[in-house]
Structure 1
Amino acid sequence: MASFTLQGIPVSRGIAIGRAHLLRPAALDVKHYLVAQELVEAEVLRLQNAIAQVHVELQAIWADLPQDAPTELGAFLDVHALILSDPMVSEAPLDIIRTRHYNAEWALVTQVDELSAQFDEIEDDYLRERKADIQQVAERVLKVLTGSSSQVPSSDGIDERTANMVVVARDISPADMMQFRDVAFTGFVTDEGGQNSHTAIVSRSLGIPAVVGMGNASQLIEQDDWLIIDSDAGVVIVAPPTMVLEQYRERQAQLLKQRKKLSKLKKTPAVTQDGVEITLLANIELPGDATPALEAGASGVGLFRSEFLFMERSGEQHQLPSEEEQFDAYRKAVLGMKGRPVTIRTLDVGADKPLEAAEHNILNPALGLRAIRYCLAEPQLFLTQLRAILRASAFGPVKILIPMMAHGFEIEQTLQLIAQAKKELTAEKKEFDVGIPVGAMIEIPAAALALPMFVKKLDFLSIGTNDLIQYTLAIDRADHEVAHLYDDLHPAILQLLQIIVSTAEKAGVPLSICGGMAGDLRLTRLLVGMGFRELSMPAALLPEIKQAILNTRFDTLQPYVKKILRSYDSAVIQETLSNMEALGKTLH
């Protein structure tokens, strides 16, 4: 067949070469029919039995998890089990069968479509992509109802056709991923998903190349097609010519050799050749991410996104995670980092179910009641989280990071609530770090321009570049129609970063950068040259960033940085950045 290339979203690094294995969805088009009144309860029972069978399947997969399985997989399986037990999934479809007389498959799909539509309204990227959890759970139930299978090949008698398998699917659930643990698979390609989908998170954790958000790849790729995944470029080459295949095999071998070499830098401090020390931290989503962060050589956690605990918990207060549940998760992350600092960002959501009440009816969630605004509007929810974080601080160094700060009163109210949480815990004789550092995420231009207001009252600052870019350039980064306007090298962005660095340095307040820019290898020397001394990123990116720092002289960067900050011409900025990178290679 003729070779062709597909473009998607790169979510991990590296090159994979293998044969396509198509993982067919259970039921893209389920049967729709009405059930007679006398058969309604039998149809209800059929769905209940299917749900019960999936519970058993998930428990069996969980019990069979190998010791070396990524901790994320266990956590995701727990989430799927919770979703399966949620009345919105386990009971609401039964009501649809009883009231509308829909067949079981139709009732389940109807309810899931309604829940998915609610998730589409969520502004937060991570939480919005959690709708995939609900769809994947529903798909497992549909597989039982329809008698279809996931078509995973047996591990027995692996030959060239199953070795180095590239899984191609509309989407891949963590439970399905576990079915590949005994099969040689080398990469993932999915039609759906984004930077925070399960496929993305697990592939980064495993260090397996993956490209997601490819639209219709599973329809265009055929079973057993040879595939090349270039997950650095977000490209999948289908049926590559022999010459292209050989070129990529050579690149793959070089990357493997380079990765082995980089792994030896684990315990090497990130210091430039002229003695400037840089602290490299890890971003994590789950408590179990602490272990791979340590293995990658992280000096601590610069951003623990606490949103994962609130997944599929929107709505009534009783659905939210308890203080004990949160405390247990935070403590696990703290203990997992073995004495290295863990920065926990407080709940950063907006526009999820609680905001759909009439008093919170908003047109643009990005500019609405989200992050700290939402937490201050729900003080009991916020106080519960603060108590849990404070209690976890008794087990190791913890910092509290507050997202989306912009106003002085937000700082005051937050500090008052932290003081209240401390007072309550003291009265209850529960231990915590009395001097726990409190910081703000700088992700709104107003905060960057009014930074003196922050440095007087807070202990540290952390820049969230993703939102800072979104708000400065007035683009919704979740809107694909304006995605091309997202520019981390826009002169306005660089000027704001410089203002923040200078102000923090003069005030003697620690500053880190934890957005996407921090893990972008092409920007490492620019950030170091601008004065950043703490970078936080996904753990898998740490070794390459460290190597770049080791091959850098801070004093040689200054002329390039000054030229970039003085320029308002995109071509000049790009050229100067390239010259700076070329200089780094000469020091290698």
Structure 2
Amino acid sequence: MSLWLSGIGVSRGIAIARVQKLHGGDLEIAEYTVAPEELEREIERFRDAQQQALAQLREVRSKIPAGTPGDIAAFIDTHLLMLDDRSLVDSTVANIRSAGINAEAALRRSRDALVAVFEQMEDPYLRTRRDDVEHVVSRVQRVLTRTERELPGGQVPLTEPTVIVADDITPADIILLSQQAVLAFVTEYGGPLSHTAILARSLGIPAVVGLHNARRLLRENELVIVDGEHGHVLADPDDKALEHYRRKQDQQAQDRRLLQTLRDKPAISGDGVEVRLQANIELPEDAAVATANGAAGIGLYRTEFLYMNRKGLPTEEEQYQAYSRVVSAVRGPITIRTLDLGADKQVDSGQRQGPTPNNPALGLRAIRLCLKEPELFRVQMRALLRASAHGQVRIMLPMISSLSELRQAKALMATCRAELIREGRVVADRIPVGAMIEVPAAAISSSLLAREVDFFSIGTNDLIQYTLAIDRVDDEVNYLYDPLHPAVLRLIHMTIEAGHKAGIEVSMCGEMAGDACYTRLLLGLGLTDFSMHPANVLEVKRAVREAQVGELRRRVADIMQAASLDDFASLLAAL
């Protein structure tokens, strides 16, 4: 009898194969007292385990094929940095000495302290990086306890098509398994921003996450169908279901081949409206992937990774070198977002003073943190201004909510520019400055903000959760996360209209921009500048080329005037 299960679809595609479970969930770690004369030996045991774990990850890193997208190797690099981070190592050694306990228990205490920091982060993407801590610590714990995580196939690579079912999967395991006959991943935990989700999308492997009790409900070697777009898993399917999904597989394969023919074609609608499709990236290596997928530039370059997984702040020179590499590699404009972290992240190599905020998402973060810590902002701004000499740099300020924030940031930028010129440094003659619209207050006052900036970029991820008062990575309320809520669409439309009236560019860099399901709606709202994950560019380009923008704008205007929620929903469904 067939069993239908639903989780969160995070990587599109359909896979039909038999289940192999990834064994080895949470380890049971005992805590016991170590005699004083044995403490140094216990510390040495911990250091040996740490070095073995580093060697394991370096081996995985060496097996990543050439030409693989940069974000895949970046996950392993992040874990290598964490494993060698002095804060993790020193705190564990300190716990062994001060508490007189075994290495496993001391490491667990260090993990708990680090996870608590990440749990308080306001940014959903950064908060999910607590998984990095869990995976790194688990790898060392398994060396200490001599309990290696069992991969399907063991030392013999998988040769039969397989769907991996696990509680969670580390980046290292995903990379190793992706080089075998693994067709899909199903995990009990995780969300759209989890490791499994991000890596599966980069590797083009269907994945469903957040499917609770999957390891209990699905049997070893059972035939399953995984629909990574809709989040469905069908166990023990009948012939009719198999035939249906095999047809869908064939259609998707043909669809992917057709998409590749669009790579060098312009993003122009059927009625002649030109649309710019750019890419979101995080690492210099991602710029090549964006170009290969036909992106017209970089609409969002995140700079947070320069600050994470390290004890000290990145220097001006270090930042300049990183920015220069990506600016030089990009053909066309590149929009670089200034630091978007919260004060709960220890970017100053020290302990944050004061109590932990009750609502970190509403606290000291992004531009607020940069203006409160001007030296932090000044170092980054000088590096960005210097990098502007190598290409078409645009600087974007995150979480703007008022004119005063904009003016303070622009004043600091002007001061840094004057300093660099006095020092004989080369700086571009003109560097456009823009604001991210991700706070409802910014959208509502967008007509005022538009007078102070050269462009807007709508960050829908935060705009939606702030507007609807929900945390999109919280399993209890993320069902309320609705990009099509009338309030959200009105704020987006208001921002686009304000930008157009002021004669400035308006782009969108949130997840809505990269989902072809929303392309027609966004075109109808007046958006002509999209930025997204490089893998989504071709699909959105197709939707643009098939659209009649003039007709869409007339229909969307009717939708925005709908007298009731029922009318709004029915008109939207018919778009």
TM range (shorter): over 0.9
Local SS of the residue matching 2:335: strand
Does the C-alpha gap of structure 1 residues 142 and 278 become closer, same or farther in structure 2, counting only changes over 3 Å?
same
Correspondence for 1:269 among 249, 261, 266: 266
Aligned with residue 320 of structure 1, among 313, 329, 332? 313
Q: 5 Å matches for 1:6-405?
A: 6-25=5-24, 27-153=26-152, 162-313=159-310, 319-337=312-330, 339-354=331-346, 357-359=352-354, 361-405=356-400
- Larger deviation: 551-560 or 359-368? 359-368
TM-score, normalization: structure 2? 0.93
Conserved? CA contact 1:491–1:567, under 8 Å: no
What is the rounded CA distance, in whole Å, between the counterparts of 1:29 and 1:246 in structure 2? 44
Contact 2:524 2:554 in 1 (8 A): no
Q: In the TM superposition, what are the counterparts of 1:410-429 in structure 2 within 5 Å?
A: 410-429=405-424
Q: Aligned-pair distance for 1:156?
A: 8.7
What is the CA-CA distance between 1:32 and the residue it aligns to?
Answer: 3.0
Pairs within 5 Å for 1:467-546? 467-546=462-541
Pair 56,12 (structure 1): closer, same or farther in 2 beyond 3 Å: same
**Alpha-carbon contact 1:463-1:515 (below 8 Å) kept:** yes
**How much does 1:422 deviate?**
1.8
1:187-227 C-alpha deviation (Å, 9 max, x unpaired)? 22222322222222221112211122333323433432323
Distance in 1 (alpha carbons) for counterparts of 2:424 and 2:167: 51
Amino acid aligned to 2:336: I
| C-alpha distance in 1 between matches for 2:284 and 2:189 | 26
Structure 2 vs 1, CA of residues 550 and 567 (structure 1 numbering), >3 Å: closer, same or farther?
A: same
1:51-73 superposed Cα distances (whole Å, 9 cap, x missing partner): 01122222333334321333223
Change (3 A) 1:513 1:335: same
Structure 1 residues 427-436 or 438-447, which shifts more? 427-436
424-433 or 377-386: which moved more?
424-433
String of CA shifts for 1:283-329, please: whole Å, max 9, x gaps: 2232222222222211111112222222234xxxx622233333333
**2 CA distance for matches of 1:492 and 1:220?**
39
- Any idea what the Cα deviations from partners look like across 1:529-549, whole Å, max 9, x if unmatched? 121110112222222211111
Percentage of matched positions with identical amino acids: 45
Give the conservation status (yes or no) of the 8 Å contact 2:343–2:369: no
Distance (whole Å) between structure 2 residues aligned to residue 199 and residue 336 of structure 1: 28
Unaligned segments of structure 2, at least 5 residues: none
Contact 1:400 1:436 in 2 (8 A): yes
Whether the 8 Å CA contact 1:283–1:538 is kept in 2: the answer is: yes
- The residue that corresponds to 1:583 in the other structure is none
CA distance in 2, matches of 1:94, 1:391: 41
Matched, 1:561 2:538: no
- The answer to whether residue 434 in structure 2 is matched with residue 439 in structure 1 is yes
Determine the C-alpha separation between the residues in 2 that align with 1:495 and 1:184.
46
Gaps of 5+ in 1: 581-588
The structure-2 alpha-carbon separation of the partners of 1:494 and 1:69, relative to structure 1 and needing over 3 Å to count, comes to closer
- Letter of the 1:447 partner, please give it: A
Secondary structure in 1 matching 2:177: coil
CA contact (8 A) 1:26 1:140 kept: no
Native 8 Å contact 2:222 2:235 kept in 1: yes
> What letter corresponds to residue 322 of structure 1 in structure 2?
T
State the partner residue of 1:584: none
Deviation at 1:256, TM superposition (A): 0.7
Distance across 1 between alignment mates of 2:413 and 2:22: 48
Q: Closer, same or farther in 2 for the Cα pair 1:36/1:383, shift >3 Å?
A: same
Shift of 1:35: 2.2
Are the structure 2 counterparts of residues 165 and 70 from structure 1 closer, same or farther at C-alpha, using a change threshold of 3 Å?
A: farther
Say how many residue pairs are matched.
Answer: 572
CA offsets 1:377-398 (integer angstroms, 9 cap, x no match):
1111111222222232222212
Residue 490 of structure 1, CA deviation: 2.3
1:379-424, Cα deviation, whole Å (9 max, x unpaired): 1111122222223222221211101111121111101121122223
Aligned mates of 1:27, 1:312 — CA distance in 2:
24
Give the partner amino acid of 1:350: G
Q: Counterparts of 2:535 and 2:224 in 1: how far apart (Å)?
A: 24
Secondary structure of 2:377's counterpart equals helix
Q: Could you tell me how far apart the structure 1 residues matched to 2:97 and 2:441 are?
A: 53
Cα distance change of structure 1 residues 406 and 432 upon mapping to structure 2, 3 Å threshold: same
Paired residue for 1:409? 404
Distance 1:236 1:324 in 2: 49
- Separation in 1 of the partners of 2:551 and 2:237? 43
Amino acid in structure 1 at the alignment position of 2:32 = Y
User: SS state of the match for residue 480, structure 1?
Assistant: coil
- The range that moved more, 50-59 or 475-484, is 475-484
CA drift at 1:122:
0.7
Contact 1:27–1:142 (CA<8 Å) still a contact in 2?
A: no
Answer whether contact 2:21 2:152 (CA < 8 A) is retained.
no
Alpha-carbon contact 2:344-2:356 (below 8 Å) kept: no
Deviations 1:357-390 (A, max 9, x none): 3446422112111111011111111112222222
Using a 3 Å threshold, how does the CA distance of structure 1 residues 328 and 169 change in structure 2: closer, same or farther?
farther
SS at match of 1:59: helix
Kindly indicate whether the alpha-carbon contact (under 8 Å) linking 1:282 and 1:538 is maintained by their aligned counterparts in 2. Answer: yes
Partner Cα separation in structure 1 for residue 334 and residue 385 of structure 2: 12
Against the structure 1 CA distance between its residues 333 and 31, is the aligned structure 2 distance closer, same or farther, given a 3 Å change threshold? Answer: same
**Aligned counterparts of 2:33 and 2:376: Cα–Cα separation in 1:** 43
| Aligned amino acid, residue 173 of structure 2 | D
Secondary structure in 1 matching 2:224:
strand
